[in-house]
Amino acid sequence: MVPSKGNRVRSTMGGELSEGKDRHTELGLKEEDLVDMYRYMLTARFCDERQWALNRQGKAPFVVPVSGHEGAQVGSAWAFEKGKDVFCPYYRDLALVLVAGLTPAEVFMGLFGKAADPSSGGRQMPAHWGSRARNIITGSSPIATQVLHAAGIALAKKIKKSDAIVGTWFGEGGTSEGDWHGAMNMAGIHQLPLVLVCENNQYAISVHESKQVAGRVFRRAEGYGMPGIEGDGNDVLESYRLTKEAVDRARSGGGPSLIELRTYRFYSHTSDDDDRTYRSKEEVEAAKKKDPIPAFERYLSSVEVLDEHRIAEIREEVKTAVAEGVKAAEEADFPDPATAMNNVYADLPGEVE
Ligand SMILES: Cc1ncc(C[n+]2csc(CCOP(=O)(O)OP(=O)(O)O)c2C)c(N)n1
Ligand SMILES: [Mg+2]
C-alpha cells in the first residue's frame, strides 16, 4: 500500500506481532532472512549489555544504549541495499550499523578508541559509527546534523542519476532542530531519493515528547510535501514493511518519505544519565512488556521457523560471537601517538609558546 501525501498509515500490531499468521512471506522475506534479522537484534542487545557492564567496570568511557530500539532499527535497515545505499545513522543506531555491515569487534574497537576502529581509527566519540566500505557516514554530535548530510548526499545521488538512495535515522527530539527542518524542506522541494526514519522513544534525554512536539512527528511531513507514515517500531516486520515501501518509492523516483516508528529505550539516555529522575520504574517495566525481541521470538515460534531449543542455541551462539568481539577489541592496539595529528592539519603547526 502506497500512502498518499501526509496520510497516516497505522500499524495494527500494537506492540505485539500477530502470531500464527505468515506475514513474512507476504513481505517477500524468506525464513533465512527472519533468522538473520533475529540474530542482528540479539547481537545489538548483547553488545548493549556488554558495553553497559564495561562502562560500569571503568573500561568504556561513554556508552549509548540501544535496547528497546532493535525492532525499529533492524526492520528499517533491512529495506536498504547494502553496498549501494548510504546510511546516515545517529548515536542510538547500534543495531542499524550492524545490519549495514559493522562487526561486534569493530563496534568495540570504536568504544575502546582502538586503531582498528573503522569510524576514525579511535578518534571519534563512541557511537559515532562510520565506514567508508559500508557507506556508513560518521555523524557529528549536534543532533540532526546527519539529516542535512543525508539530504546533501541524496541530492548528489539524484544529480548523478544514481539508483542508490539514502536513509537517515534520528529521534523525535531531533525533529525540533533547524537542521532537520532544512533537510526536510530540501528533500521535499527536490524530491530527493531519501528515507527519513524517526525512532520515537518519547524522550529527548529527560524531555518528554509532549514538551517537544505539539502535534505528531509524522504529520510534519505534509508541510514538506512528502508522505508521513506512522508505525509500531517494536514490530520488526512492520518496521521493515513501512520502510520498504518508502525505499521502493525513493528508488523509483517517487521522492522522500518520513516514517515515524514508535518505540522506547529501556536504559538511561547514555551512561552519563540517570533516567530515574524523570520517568517511573512502572513506566519502564510496562514498556519492557513490548520488548521487540521476545515479540519476534513468539512470531518465529508461531510460524515454526524456530522452536524454543533453537532459540536458546542461537542466543548462545550470538553471545559467544559478541564476547569474541569484545576480546579482539580489548587485545587490539591503541593508535600510535605519532598519528594524533593525522587528518587534523595539512601542515603541522609549530610549537605554541
Ligand atoms: C544541537 C544539540 N542540542 C542538544 C544536544 C544534547 N543532546 C544530545 S542527545 C539529545 C536528545 C535527543 O533526543 P532524541 O532526538 O529524541 O533521540 P534519542 O536520544 O531519544 O534517541 C540532546 C538534547 C546535542 N547533542 N545537540
Ligand atoms: Mg527520543
Whether 6 is in a domain gets the answer no
With contact defined as beta carbons under 8 Å apart, do 240 and 79 qualify?
yes
Whether 129 is in a domain gets the answer yes
Whether 210 is in a domain gets the answer yes
Whether 278 is in a domain gets the answer no
**Ligand 1 geometric centre to CA of 124 (Å):** 17
Whether 270 is in a domain gets the answer no
Q: What is the pLDDT of residue 348?
A: 75
Q: Report the residue among 66, 205, 262, 272 best suited for mutation to probe ligand 1: largest number of ligand atoms under 8 A from its CB.
A: 205
Measured from CB, residues less than 6 Å from any atom of ligand 1 are 92, 141-143, 170-174, 177, 199, 201, 203-205, 269
With contact defined as beta carbons under 8 Å apart, do 47 and 104 qualify?
yes
Q: Which residues contact 78 (CB under 8 A, 6 or more apart)?
A: 33, 37, 99, 240, 243, 244
Candidates 250, 142, 97, 120; CA nearest to 187 is 250
Mean residue pLDDT across the chain: 93
Q: What is the rounded CA–CA span in Å between residue 66 and residue 312?
A: 22
> For residue 90, which ligand has an atom nearest its CA?
1
What CATH number should be reported for the domain holding residue 166? 3.40.50.970
**Ligand 1 geometric centre to CA of 203 (Å):** 9
Q: What is the pLDDT of residue 341?
A: 83
Structural domain total, the chain:
1
pTM across the whole model: 0.93
Classify the C-alpha dihedral 128-236-218-287 as positive or negative. Answer: negative
- Give me the domain span that covers residue 141: 23-264+290-332
Query: Which residue bears the cell 514498556?
Result: 287
pLDDT per residue as tens, the chain (353 positions): 333 333 333 333 444 555 556 899 999 999 999 999 999 999 999 999 999 999 999 999 999 999 999 999 999 999 999 999 999 999 999 999 999 999 999 999 999 999 999 999 998 899 999 999 999 999 999 999 999 999 999 999 999 999 999 999 999 999 999 999 999 999 999 999 999 999 999 999 999 999 999 999 999 999 999 999 999 999 999 999 999 999 999 999 999 999 999 999 999 999 999 999 999 999 999 999 999 999 999 999 999 999 999 999 999 999 999 999 999 999 999 999 988 888 778 777 776 55
Q: Which residues contact 201 (CB under 8 A, 6 or more apart)?
A: 68, 69, 171, 172, 263, 264, 265
With contact defined as beta carbons under 8 Å apart, do 262 and 232 qualify?
yes
Whether 346 is in a domain gets the answer no
Element (H, E) at 102: none
Shortest-distance atom of ligand 1 to CA 170: 15
Q: What is the rounded CA–CA span in Å between residue 30 and residue 24?
A: 7
With contact defined as beta carbons under 8 Å apart, do 299 and 16 qualify?
no
Q: What is the rounded CA–CA span in Å between residue 230 and residue 185?
A: 20
Expressed in angstroms, the distance from the first to the final Cα of the chain is 66
Residue whose CA is closest, atom 18 of ligand 1?
171
Whether 163 is in a domain gets the answer yes
Q: Which amino acid is at 233?
A: G
Whether 279 is in a domain gets the answer no
